[in-house]
């Protein structure tokens, strides 16, 4: 008998160094906003407001804390030495791009934090976690150790939760986590189908691959995760992302497709072999019929999908259908806004659309879906996890006050070398681990 389970969403709390450094070649928004001034305080408050609205609607909403940035241990590993202030000054002088990379608040995009397989799918009936190595971009490749520590501290009970280290950090095993992983199922507690989408086959140079932008996820990485998580063939579909989509700026599958329950909402350019993907899912999905909601290029050109982040929406169950939680930009791009009206009138599985303002994150290429990691938990697992990170009214108030006390409202490139910023961050994060009851998780706390 399937156990009752819910989908909990863990949003990354935006860190105090949120800035626009243009670090992600292949991510159109990141490149086009390079050197714009950011507002970390507004960014964090926008993220918290999204969490609060969803928590108020009854969804289980969690928070993952930001990472320590600028990350001094990474600068030391690259040969910068001296006091922390000297290290920052030396890096700023000789290698400002490296300093920007180790100062990025990119851990906010927790869809890239890890791949998570629910216990209903895995061999040993535990929930399995593998932090993503994010090896495609230096600034993101330094996230996985601390991400792993956080996940272990939140999901500590080994009777329920299994943690794997990130895959080897080389391009052959490039892994971007849940942004390229979608689970389809009947009820959340039923066995599901885990759809792994990859951009490239690493060990086959003849296989199709994007020409302009990098493919961040390999088939070999996706297969390794499936093995580690103990997923049998009946739970698995591997699909190649359309290389043309990657070259159009779709650097993760979650910029062009989103799934929930029995529904896959996707663009016609999402997959290299769309028909096979659908039939493979249909052949494995038990207890539910796949609802494929396909958006054609004629209705929404891929450039509009990238500009609006239509597919980087959260697709959530409601008592009478599904809610699509879209970024505000979707109502600003005419083809997308028109499409949404048509979608609502179509009588399909998606019955409501709500707009969320996450503009600060959007300008770095992260929409509502990038900001959350989904963890399906049955009632026992939900009880077993550390509850201090679940958003309640009180925690929301506490975190809002914390942001207002510690965050700057303007940050530019030259601020990243400010030793005061580093001090502010450490003070804030030290307080935060106390608020969330997480113990010591940061390097500076060890
Ligand atoms: N899932 C959304 C991830 C967005 C993220 N952007 C960035 O890292 C941009 C950071 C900057 O350019 O400052 C990325 O591309 O991995």
- CB-based contacts of 41, cutoff 8 Å, min separation 6: 403, 404, 407, 408, 409
Verify whether ligand 1 is closer than 6 Å to residue 413 (CB atom).
no
Verify whether ligand 1 is closer than 6 Å to residue 252 (CB atom).
yes
Among this protein's residues, is 332 annotated catalytic? no
Among this protein's residues, is 330 annotated catalytic? no
Evaluate whether ipTM surpasses 0.95.
yes
**pTM of the full structure:** 0.98
- The dihedrals phi and psi of 127, each to the nearest 5 degrees, come to -80, 125
Testing ligand 1's pocket by substitution, the residue of 30, 113, 176 carrying the most ligand atoms inside 8 A of its CB is 30
Residue nearest to atom 16 of ligand 1 (CA): 24
* The pLDDT value given to residue 115: 99
* The pLDDT value given to residue 1: 72
Residue nearest to atom 15 of ligand 1 (CA): 24
* Intervals of the chain under pLDDT 70: none
The pLDDT tens digits for 285-321 are 999 999 999 999 999 999 999 999 999 999 999 999 9
Verify whether ligand 1 is closer than 6 Å to residue 100 (CB atom).
no
Cα separation, 221 vs 227, whole angstroms:
10
Question: How many CB atoms are located within 10 Å of the residue 1 CB?
Answer: 4
Which atom of ligand 1 is least distant from the CA of 367? 2
Which atom of ligand 1 is least distant from the CA of 139? 8
Catalytic residue (one of 18, 267, 329, 370) = 370
CB 73 within 8 A of CB 146: no
CA 56 to chain CA mean position, Å? 22
The CA 133 to ligand 1 mean position distance, Å, reads: 14
Residue nearest to atom 8 of ligand 1 (CA): 106
* The pLDDT value given to residue 35: 87
Residue nearest to atom 1 of ligand 1 (CA): 370
* Helices 96-103, 84-94: inter-axial angle, 10-degree rounding: 130
CB 373 within 8 A of CB 148: no
At residue 200, the 3 state secondary structure works out as strand
């Amino acid at each position: 008998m399937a156990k009752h389970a819910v989908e909990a969403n863990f949003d990354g709390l935006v860190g105090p160094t949120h800035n626009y450094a243009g670090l992600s070649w292949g991510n159109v928004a990141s490149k086009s906003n390079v050197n714009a001034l950011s507002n970390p305080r507004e960014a964090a408050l926008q993220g918290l407001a999204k969490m609060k609205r969803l928590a108020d609607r009854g969804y289980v909403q969690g928070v993952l804390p930001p990472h320590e940035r600028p990350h001094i241990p990474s600068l030391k590993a690259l040969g910068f030495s001296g006091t922390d202030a000297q290290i920052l000054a030396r890096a700023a002088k000789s290698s400002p791009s490296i300093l920007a990379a180790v100062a990025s608040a990119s851990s906010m995009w927790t869809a890239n934090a890890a791949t998570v397989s629910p216990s209903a799918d895995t061999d040993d009936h535990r929930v399995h976690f593998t932090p993503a190595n994010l090896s495609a971009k230096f600034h993101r490749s330094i996230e996985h150790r601390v991400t792993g520590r956080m996940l272990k501290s939140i999901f500590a009970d080994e009777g329920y939760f299994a943690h794997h280290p990130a895959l080897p950090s080389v391009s052959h095993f490039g892994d971007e986590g849940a942004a390229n992983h979608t689970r389809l199922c009947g009820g959340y507690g039923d066995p599901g189908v885990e759809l792994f989408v990859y951009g490239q086959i690493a060990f086959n140079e003849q296989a199709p691959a994007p020409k302009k932008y990098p493919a961040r996820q390999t088939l070999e990485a996706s297969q390794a995760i499936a093995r580690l998580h103990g997923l049998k063939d009946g739970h698995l579909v591997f699909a190649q992302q359309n290389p043309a989509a990657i070259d159009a700026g779709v650097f993760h599958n979650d910029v062009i497709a989103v799934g929930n329950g029995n529904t896959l909402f996707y663009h016609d350019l999402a997959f290299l072999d769309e028909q096979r993907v659908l039939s493979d899912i249909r052949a494995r999905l038990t207890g539910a019929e796949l609802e494929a909601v396909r958006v054609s290029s004629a209705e929404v050109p891929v450039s509009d999908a990238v500009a609006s982040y239509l597919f980087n929406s959260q697709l959530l169950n409601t008592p009478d259908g599904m809610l699509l939680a879209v970024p505000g930009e979707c109502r600003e791009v005419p083809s997308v806004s028109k499409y949404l009206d048509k979608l609502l009138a179509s009588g399909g599985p998606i019955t409501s659309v709500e707009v969320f303002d996450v503009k600060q994150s959007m300008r770095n290429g992260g929409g509502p879906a990038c900001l959350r990691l989904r963890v399906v938990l049955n009632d026992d697992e939900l009880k077993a996890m550390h509850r201090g990170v679940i958003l309640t009214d009180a925690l929301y108030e506490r975190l809002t006050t914390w942001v207002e006390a510690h965050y700057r409202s303007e940050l530019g490139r030259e601020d990243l070398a400010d030793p005061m910023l580093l001090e502010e961050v450490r003070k804030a994060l030290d307080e935060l681990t106390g608020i969330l009851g997480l113990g010591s998780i940061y390097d500076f706390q060890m």
